Amino acid sequence: MRLDKFLCETLGVTRTQASRVLKSESVTVDGNVIKSGAVKVSEEAEIEFEGRLLTLSGPRYFMMHKPAGVVCSHEDAFNPTVFVLLDEVNGEKLHIAGRLDADTTGLLLLTDDGQWSHRITSPKHQCTKTYRVWLADPIAADTASQFEQGVMLRGEKQVTLPAKLEQVDDYEALLTIHEGKYHQVKRMFAAVGNKVEALHRESVGALELDETLEPGEYRPLTDEEIALLR
């Protein structure tokens, strides 16, 4: 494939813009600056733009350790979005598979594979999500059984699906739910008279947050991790 065509596809630019990019000497092929769009590049070639590797190889998948204070949307008038933390070519083409509230931390998945994210977010698939929850008041003795039976959230017509609560201490628990209603965990605890003080998502399905990621950091998923959620 010609280098300029490769740049059009990976950077989402026109041929004219691709030749401007090449003239700016910001593209390397196997470490060498290349300025001609006519150069043929092989599938094995390592092509970088401004030091970032470009790949044609289909959908992308990332896990981020979402920090508090950033919002899960492409634009927000008041707060930074998770997309400002992404240093990816065409990062704005990624979408979030299962949003978190601005004050919630933990495992956030980003992809441009709509089918894959649908399996995570669609109510039909009931993909599990596990949250570590810190509460304002001691967890009542009957909270686990209430969550197991399902609780009625304000504004809903049906009780929540059975959820598993594992108490860590009086004020801390792990909650595993099979759905993703708006503010679900906060509303579940509100329904039993408690208040969530802090919330952290530890896992989605069998995929756990990589503990080596600091808040705000992210990395690509491995093939095995991607397969866990297929």
Please give the angle made by the CA atoms of 133, 138 and 141, to the nearest 5 degrees.
100
User: Is residue 200 at the binding interface for ligand URA, with CB under 6 A as the rule?
Assistant: no
Are 81 and 73 in contact by the 8 Å Cβ rule? The answer is yes
**Residues paired with 188 in a beta bridge:** none
Q: Tell me which stretch binds ligand URA (CB under 6 A): 54-62, 76-84, 147-155, 178-186.
A: 178-186
Nearest to 45 by CA among 89, 110, 1, 102: 1
DSSP-assigned letters across all residues of 184-229: HHHHHHHHTT--EEEEEEEEETTEEPPTTPPTT-EEEPPHHHHHHT
Residue 101 designated active-site? yes
Tell whether residue 133 is a contact of ligand URA (CB under 6 A).
no
Q: How many separate helices (H) and strands (E) can be counted in the chain? A: 6, 13
Site membership for ligand URA, residue 130 (CB under 6 A): no
The only residue of 21, 27, 185, 191 in contact with ligand URA, by rule CB under 6 A: 185
Query: Is residue 194 involved in binding ligand URA (CB under 6 A)?
Result: no
Choice between 185 and 229, CB closer to ligand URA: 185
| Cβ–Cβ < 8 Å for 86, 220 | no
Asked if 173 interacts with ligand URA (CB under 6 A), we say no
- Which one from 76, 101, 103, 113 is the annotated catalytic residue? 101
Indicate the residue among 11 and 190 with the shorter CB distance to ligand URA.
Answer: 190
In angstroms, the CA 160 to CA 189 distance is 12
Q: Counting contacts by CB under 6 A, is residue 104 touching ligand URA?
A: yes
**What is the rounded distance in angstroms from the CA atom of residue 200 to the CA atom of residue 131?**
5
Binders of ligand URA among residues 142 to 171 (CB under 6 A) are: none
CB of 173 to ligand URA, least distance (A): 13
127 lies in the site for ligand URA, by CB under 6 A: no
Contact flag: residue 117 with ligand URA (CB under 6 A): no
Residue 60 or 129 having the CB closest to ligand URA: 129
Question: Does 10 help bind ligand URA (rule: CB under 6 A)?
Answer: no
Q: How many Cβ atoms are within 10 Å of 120's Cβ, its own excluded?
A: 19
Residues with active-site annotation: 101
Contact set with ligand URA (CB under 6 A) = 100-101, 104, 183-186, 199
